[in-house]
Structure 1
Amino acid sequence: MSATPPTATEVDHDVDSPSSARKYIDAVLEQSFRHLFGPTATPEQPRRHDVVSIANLTSALSGYLQPEEIKDIKAAFHFSDEAHLGQYRQSGEPYITHPVAVAEICAGWNLDAQSIMAALLHDVMEDQGVTKAELAERFGAKVAELVDGLSKLDKMEFRNREEAQAENFRKMLLAMARDVRVILVKLADRLHNMRTLGAVPPEKRRRVARETLDIYAPIAHRLGLNNTYRELQDLSFANFNPHRYATLEKAVKAARGNRREVVGKILESVQRAIADAKLDAEVTGREKTIFSIYKKMRDKQLSFSQVLDVYGFRVVVESALECYTCIGALHALYKPVPGKFKDYIAIPKVNGYQSLHTTLVGPFGAPIEFQVRTRKMHEIAEAGVAAHWLYKNGSADLNDVQKRAHQWLKSLLDIQSEAGDSSEFLEHVKIDLFPDAVYVFTPKSKIMALPRGATALDFAYSIHSDLGNQCVAVKINNELLPLRTELKSGDIVEVITAPYSKPNPAWLGFVRSGKARSAIRHYLKTMRLNESVQLGERLVDQALKGYGFALSDVTPEVWEKLVQWTGNKNRQEIFADIGLGRRVAAVMAKRIEVLMSGRDADDDGSRSESGSTPHAPPVVITGTEGMSVQLSACCRPIPGDDIMGYIGIGLGMAIHTTDCRVAQRIHRRDPGRWIDVAWAPQPGRLFDVAVKVLVKNTKGVFARVAADITSADANIVHIAMDEDLSQESTVLRFVIQVSDRVHLANVMRRVRTNPDVMRIARERPSEEGHHRHDGGMRIDRERADY
């Protein structure tokens, strides 16, 4: 018996490569052995169809690349073919079929020769151990850079799959920010993987589908590759939830027949109206994707028939002026639905998309959605940033798309520079991936696009991180409003700043954009570190005074020994650890005292259990120390109160009043972390304090009591009152700002002169919810807008 000779289609001009010829011979021999002896023991043996052709690829490339470039691409194919020899996909196909398919997708976008070569080589570093230097030597530095950007960090160890995914994603996006071709090749890679996901085990299939839906499909949308975006969504849905996909697909096919008559009638009417307007236009029906139907049903709680009862059409004309003429003709034909006209030509979407959208009431009362655009707008709408390669005519529209993509990629670098780790970076980028946007104006009429749901503070950070950090108020349409105010398209926003203002941790609770979140977190981390170093210095200096030393007395030699003893990098890191409560200042002071006096090095004070040292003066509290020193929300201390300080692990210092029940409970449990503190003679700020006022339930009493408080030079931060107004008396609760206890007493005396006031007292916040292990450290969120 002998193997069947190969057909002409199986042997082409690429078989002259040594690896292809060898695989062909192996395939023929393998088939002969199977005829003679049955299946061989090794399951993954080469087969006859392992001879992979790039004839289709070279045919597509010959339409727009030079012969010399195609020759380089063939060399990249042969190199990849050799590298992947004997490697198979889970479907049983030779692995080389995958990079060839990826390259064919890239050729469909008319990507340049370097991109096609990178597509063919994109797995050789990761799977076959080929080095970047080797690729650079064979194919040039640019191709090596592209392949490196596409390769995973397989040499690094990660704690879990999520960390590995985040770090690999971070690496790819940073490479993408340098060269957008990285993500185009990656999207082609992911698209082919999704098309062939059927051979993958179900659990991995769902995981890859979820990742594609969460990350890669939104990236395609963000870059304007809408065809790729829609296909990735449908493929992800089909693999993540195959039962629902199959059910909807069957229902859609069944519904098409029922809709044919209505669609034909609408199409005929629209074409006649456009012809009457003397427009040369192409009208086509728009098919909803399976995933878009599912998403609309889920998000808007609609039935299948409600979603499918909306008919969609696209009209493509020659010029932007004709777009508006066409809309006029359509509105004359069918009645428009109020509020449903959107002009994305005048104000394009953030990914460069341009069209006019309108919804009309058609025959039988059916809603009809129309998109009207020019041919160039249509090309950009479908290909997005890839249109740069597809339609190289240097038009302003294409340059604008490239500019928008570049701005977004640049914003990724800003987020990366401020993100603490890869997971945080991925979290921020995911927020900015979805291009649903609101469009607002600066006072100089510049249009700014922000994520839907963005606040006035997001607007400030979108202009510059420093502007956001120093923002104290905003005017929206000339009205002073809180920073958390959600913006609407058309708003005119003006940012008001103060040079000494700084971000409030509570801002993280309402900002929506990734840029704002990363900038705030970065500032708070940096500020917290600096403040912790300063607090650590003060605590060590205070502890050393108990031994008769000052911090300035400590010699560089002692610091060097101390750094070696602690394992820290430098003295600033020691101070930061002390300020954050990771080390005890008293123990450090004892060690310094031992080293300074030259006593036995074993006497290091490490057995000390007390947070204090002999005769150490108290740490002075001004109230302006920042995040490292917090006034506890459980007792709200103000100057004049007797206070004590608790050093929480990793939390800095919390200031409590000495009669605070939360503090007393923690002191019994953890006495070694308490230190003596005292108020500065002139604290540098105002302090929040709560007062409770029992008043007669008379008309206008609320306003009169508030006026009494402000007349005593106190600011009102928060107001609340009992909801039951049927009683003769009611309780008003205020959070006010005072300078000290004397000021508070003056305010209370002034309020007592009001004849409607029956009683006023300082109120301690409820202990409920304060049974904590952080010493009462809590960010006060009541002033989130200030």
Structure 2
Amino acid sequence: MMQQSELVERVARYNPNFNETLLKKAYAYAMHQHRHQKRANGAPYFSHPLEVAAIVIDLQLDQDSVVAALLHDTIEDTETTKKEIDCIFGTNIGLLVHGLTKLRRLDLVSKKTRQGENLRRLLIAIASDVRVLLIKLADRLHNMRTLHYMLPEKRKRIAEETMEIYAPLAGRMGMQEIREDLEDLAFQTLHAEAYSTIHHKLSLLIQKSKKFIIEIEEKMVKSLLIANIQSVVKSRSKRPYSVFRKMERNGVSFEQLSDIIGFRVIVDEVQHCYQTLCVAHTKWPAVPGRFKDYISTPKQNDYRSLHTTIIGPYHQRVELQIRTHEMDKIAEYGIAAHALYKDGIYSATDTDNDSSDTHLIGQSRSYHWLHRTVKTLFDGEHPDDIFEHTRLELFLDQVFCFTPKGKLIALPRGATVIDFAYAVHTDIGNSCVGCKVNGQHAPIVSRLQNGDEVIIIRSRNQLPSSAWENVVATGKARAGIRRATKEARIQQYLGLGTKILIATFKRINHEFEPDQLEAVLEKVAYKTVNDAIAAVGCGELQPKDVIKAIFPDYQKERVPINKIRTNESWFNLNLMFKIPGRRRSFKFLETAHNHQLTGKIPIRGANENMTVKFNPEGGAVPGDRIVGILTPGEGVTVYPIQANALKAFEQTAHEWLDLRWDIDPDNHEKFPSKIRVVAIDGPGILADISEVIAKEESNISTLCLKSPNWGLTSMDIGLEVWDMKHLNRIIREVRGLSAVSHVTRLNG
């Protein structure tokens, strides 16, 4: 374990003006507060914050960051308070430690939203002070290095979270060294056998290639000296996870990879980078299509370098990365290597100042991305979508496209014209109706390529389609589409949601008041009352969760209002319903699972001696394209072509019969079908639906009711109809009832 004197000495190497007294005080305080705690491996707990501080020192961060690293677990894991940290170490360090404190268990009704809400708060904390992220990554890196002491299920969860969030986040901020360390440690936990195999093969390859590596390094340095270019040439091999990912992406074996070993050429000046490229391409043949200039067009994490591949000695492909010393530092340490982080300017609120260091933060592409992402979170993203949308932004494969005025737009690979429109401006995305790519009209869902020039065609009357959300590749575009369609969605479901909540609250002898819901919005994870009510209307939020949020102690079970309800079973009964102004009796016909109408079924294509029956789960009606499945000993079962049950017969084509309807226009006959109705649960709803069906001169043959959640009832209703038009008319009329949420046909 690092001693206090060693800690002080390591900080002094890069920061001679540090406050030694403050650093020693933090060391002693953290050690005292954690004195009774142990790590999972039995070591004193203080060894963890000490190792986190060591990683922070390796990044050469400022003194406050080192102190915060030493104290980062004190508020959560000891009796220390933020007020105490502020008093002893100052408010700046107190804010850092508070931002690093792990989130306590969130008081949310839905467990599904907790992980997304954690990420939301983490990103917001990072945006207020980027040092929170740097220390957080150091904390995660040390936890991953000691992960093997944890229980297996906990190891897997932490490794998955590291692979999905923390490693890509480190890469997005340009911290490639930490990203690769996190990826390899997570890969080792999640795929131990694959990691071991690749690691062993890499070791053998590097050992075997020593002579080749030395020769390339010597020849490159010598060639550059002749051109009066001072350089450092060093080899590097891909890390195990990087190799695994490339093998998986390209579907190749380890032996088929040709760029496992690459070389970095580090020079003094930017012009030397291009001169080095000229020397390399003059001395050795260049591989076509393998040149990338990330100096003139840097990546969004500030990475700058020239990439090329040549055919070197022994006719082997050699990958070269050519950069300056400053570019190399940023490539390894990203935002942590930036000059401003040595001068104590970190806060997002400082970006309005006029200092030169503040100007530097304004030039950071990583910082721009972070603020844009956080703005998206503030603009109404639901926590359930945070992981999905943020992860889309974390990966760095890019295409570079241009506006008609020559402005460069960087997008993730696979981005569409819609993504481009939203990247230019949200209003342009919302009003996009067409486009031209390189002067030619193209679909707005077209995938863009490097160098494309895109012209967006707009219409003020346009609203984005919700279907766009399934084709775009950026979180910004998805957020814009969701915001633009949000109001329409609220208007569509607000009334229904209100009725459901009124009925549900009445069931428990309470009256629904929007003010009650407003007081618990954080628990149900919605920003406004209308958002939450609309979510109830569309089935996204269950009414019982609203009741649990408003009345946490409510335990009473809801009383069923209809004694005839069963769960999944079909039943036979006669029911009398009271309908205003008259009395009507509806007969529910006794029906077997192998439903068969009396008389001859009017179809062609089956032997008249065969027993023919309809699909028991959904029937078939004239207007459906139908097929028959021949079952020896049982006859032919008629299915509509869209029936889900046909999937079970995909491998038995010999059992399929091509059938056609043979309807006598003078002898109308009714046929079996089935619909599912979801409606607000309450007295009289079944009678209302039955009355509509009766008015349309249809019979109800079967009925199954169940309650998928509080306030709603789902009814599977077997009908007898003349044809598809008759069925569609019934669906339309039932859907028009105010208490009905939606109606669908069941195909079985």
User: What TM-score do you get using the length of structure 2 for normalisation?
Assistant: 0.67
Spell out the pairing of 1:65-214 with structure 2 (5 A cutoff).
65=15, 69-157=19-107, 163-214=113-164
Pairwise CA distance, 1:310? 4.8
Equivalent position amino acid for 2:286 in 1? P
Equivalent position amino acid for 2:382 in 1? D
Q: CA 1:528/1:564 → structure 2, altered by over 3 Å: closer, same or farther? A: farther
State the secondary structure of the residue aligned to 1:378.
Answer: helix
Question: How many angstroms apart in 1 are the aligned matches of 2:139 and 2:578?
Answer: 60
State the secondary structure of the residue aligned to 1:146.
Answer: helix
* Contact 1:418/1:519 (<8 A) preserved: no
Equivalent position amino acid for 2:460 in 1? P
Q: Deviations over 1:530-564 (max 9, x none)?
A: 34347899x99xxxxxxxxxxxxxxxxxxx99999
Q: Report the equivalent of 2:513.
A: 568
Work out whether 1:269 is the aligned partner of 2:219. yes
Q: Deviations over 1:163-213 (max 9, x none)?
A: 543332221111001111110000011111112223222332222222111
Pairwise CA distance, 1:73? 2.5
Judge which range, 448-457 or 129-138, deviates more. 129-138
Pairwise CA distance, 1:344? 0.5
Pairwise CA distance, 1:515? 1.6
Question: How many angstroms apart in 1 are the aligned matches of 2:213 and 2:26?
Answer: 49
Judge which range, 445-454 or 301-310, deviates more. 301-310
Q: Report the equivalent of 1:510.
A: 471
Structure 2: tracts of 5 or more residues without a match: 344-354, 518-528, 542-560, 564-575, 583-622, 625-674, 682-691, 706-711, 715-723
Q: Report the equivalent of 1:490.
A: 451
* Contact 1:353/1:381 (<8 A) preserved: yes
Equivalent position amino acid for 2:437 in 1? I
Question: How many angstroms apart in 1 are the aligned matches of 2:296 and 2:387?
Answer: 32
Q: CA 1:152/1:311 → structure 2, altered by over 3 Å: closer, same or farther? A: closer
Q: Report the equivalent of 2:360.
A: 399
Question: How many angstroms apart in 1 are the aligned matches of 2:417 and 2:273?
Answer: 34
Question: How many angstroms apart in 1 are the aligned matches of 2:254 and 2:358?
Answer: 37
Pairwise CA distance, 1:776? 4.7
Pairwise CA distance, 1:239? 2.2
Judge which range, 249-258 or 567-576, deviates more. 567-576
Work out whether 1:467 is the aligned partner of 2:417. no
Pairwise CA distance, 1:54? 2.3
Q: Report the equivalent of 2:389.
A: 428
Spell out the pairing of 1:717-736 with structure 2 (5 A cutoff).
none
Q: CA 1:95/1:349 → structure 2, altered by over 3 Å: closer, same or farther? A: same
Q: Report the equivalent of 1:229.
A: 179
Q: Report the equivalent of 1:619.
A: none
* Contact 2:34/2:46 (<8 A) preserved: yes
Q: CA 1:576/1:344 → structure 2, altered by over 3 Å: closer, same or farther? A: closer
* The one of 399, 412, 415 aligned to 1:438: 399
Spell out the pairing of 1:461-610 with structure 2 (5 A cutoff).
461-533=422-494, 566-569=511-514
Q: Report the equivalent of 2:235.
A: 285
| CA RMSD across the alignment | 4.4
Pairwise CA distance, 1:304? 1.6
* Contact 2:362/2:368 (<8 A) preserved: no
Pairwise CA distance, 1:614? 8.4
Question: How many angstroms apart in 1 are the aligned matches of 2:258 and 2:697?
Answer: 63
* Contact 1:451/1:513 (<8 A) preserved: yes
* The one of 285, 291, 294 aligned to 1:344: 294
* Contact 1:311/1:367 (<8 A) preserved: no
Pairwise CA distance, 1:237? 1.6
Spell out the pairing of 1:703-718 with structure 2 (5 A cutoff).
none
Pairwise CA distance, 1:232? 1.3
Question: How many angstroms apart in 2 are the aligned matches of 1:307 and 1:331?
Answer: 22
Q: CA 1:387/1:575 → structure 2, altered by over 3 Å: closer, same or farther? A: closer
Q: Deviations over 1:134-185 (max 9, x none)?
A: 3223322222222222122224346787654333222111100111111000
* The one of 405, 412, 415 aligned to 2:376: 415
Pairwise CA distance, 1:777? 6.6
* The one of 344, 362, 369 aligned to 2:319: 369
Q: Report the equivalent of 1:302.
A: 252
Equivalent position amino acid for 1:388 in 2? H
Pairwise CA distance, 1:64? 4.0
* Contact 1:210/1:236 (<8 A) preserved: yes
* Contact 1:282/1:317 (<8 A) preserved: yes
Spell out the pairing of 1:234-253 with structure 2 (5 A cutoff).
234-253=184-203
* Contact 2:18/2:63 (<8 A) preserved: no
* Contact 1:177/1:412 (<8 A) preserved: no
Work out whether 1:383 is the aligned partner of 2:328. no
* Contact 1:287/1:312 (<8 A) preserved: yes
Equivalent position amino acid for 2:429 in 1? G
Spell out the pairing of 1:18-57 with structure 2 (5 A cutoff).
53-57=3-7
Question: How many angstroms apart in 2 are the aligned matches of 1:667 and 1:498?
Answer: 50
Q: CA 1:577/1:514 → structure 2, altered by over 3 Å: closer, same or farther? A: closer
* Contact 1:473/1:497 (<8 A) preserved: yes
* Contact 1:309/1:366 (<8 A) preserved: no
Question: How many angstroms apart in 2 are the aligned matches of 1:763 and 1:333?
Answer: 79
Equivalent position amino acid for 2:411 in 1? L
Pairwise CA distance, 1:477? 1.6
Pairwise CA distance, 1:455? 0.7
Pairwise CA distance, 1:84? 1.1
* Contact 2:238/2:260 (<8 A) preserved: no
State the secondary structure of the residue aligned to 2:338.
Answer: helix
Q: Deviations over 1:592-619 (max 9, x none)?
A: xxxxxxxxxxxxx999x9999889xxxx
Q: CA 1:336/1:263 → structure 2, altered by over 3 Å: closer, same or farther? A: same
Question: How many angstroms apart in 1 are the aligned matches of 2:125 and 2:470?
Answer: 31
Q: CA 1:666/1:363 → structure 2, altered by over 3 Å: closer, same or farther? A: farther
Pairwise CA distance, 1:250? 1.9
Judge which range, 130-139 or 103-112, deviates more. 130-139
Question: How many angstroms apart in 2 are the aligned matches of 1:124 and 1:420?
Answer: 32
* Contact 2:73/2:101 (<8 A) preserved: yes
Q: CA 1:77/1:575 → structure 2, altered by over 3 Å: closer, same or farther? A: closer
Question: How many angstroms apart in 1 are the aligned matches of 2:404 and 2:391?
Answer: 30
Q: Report the equivalent of 1:15.
A: none
Equivalent position amino acid for 1:105 in 2? I
Equivalent position amino acid for 2:173 in 1? L
Question: How many angstroms apart in 2 are the aligned matches of 1:445 and 1:612?
Answer: 70
* Contact 1:110/1:390 (<8 A) preserved: no
* Contact 2:237/2:260 (<8 A) preserved: no
Equivalent position amino acid for 1:495 in 2? I
State the secondary structure of the residue aligned to 1:335.
Answer: coil
* Contact 1:224/1:384 (<8 A) preserved: yes
Pairwise CA distance, 1:582? 11
Question: How many angstroms apart in 2 are the aligned matches of 1:431 and 1:84?
Answer: 39
Pairwise CA distance, 1:325? 1.1
Pairwise CA distance, 1:663? 13
Identity %: 35
Q: Report the equivalent of 2:348.
A: none
Q: CA 1:59/1:532 → structure 2, altered by over 3 Å: closer, same or farther? A: same
Q: CA 1:578/1:291 → structure 2, altered by over 3 Å: closer, same or farther? A: closer
Structure 1: tracts of 5 or more residues without a match: 1-48, 541-559, 584-604, 616-633, 636-644, 652-657, 675-760, 779-786
Question: How many angstroms apart in 1 are the aligned matches of 2:193 and 2:535?
Answer: 54
State the secondary structure of the residue aligned to 1:282.
Answer: strand
